[in-house]
Amino acid sequence: GAVRSMNGLFLGAWAEASPPPPPAVTQISLTDLASAWLAACHQCPPAVLLWAYCTLICLLLAGLGLFHAMLISRNLTTYEHVKRTYRAANGTLHNPFDRGLRANWAEALFPTASHRLTYSATGTAAIDQP
């Protein structure tokens, strides 16, 4: 029979038919993918520049994130790392504030009030130790 939609329009006999089968899965070769990418680049050159810019920014941010993860893991500041403050003459690293990987990350993620600088009336700073 005829099928009517919600707004009362006649849909016809095709509404009762089964849906069409899904399209067959085709394999795309790397050559086809590359040629499609190059065709898209020719159609919109600014998109290529935007892609290159975003890729560069993401790589730089990833490097910055990894550098700071290394600093947190060693419980160093950037200044201490650059000046090699805790390097011995033989090249070994002896940081008196390094408490181990897990404790260093816990200190960085969940700081407590006991690790703050206090300033006196004379302008000198002292580190509060736990």
Q: How far is CA 90 from the centre of its chain?
A: 37
Task: Write out the two tokens for 59.
Answer: 């790589």
Candidates 95, 129, 98; CA nearest to 112 is 129
pLDDT tens-place string over residues 43-65? 988 988 999 999 999 999 999 99
pLDDT tens-place string over residues 4-39? 555 555 555 555 566 777 777 777 788 888 888 888
- pTM over 0.85, yes/no: no
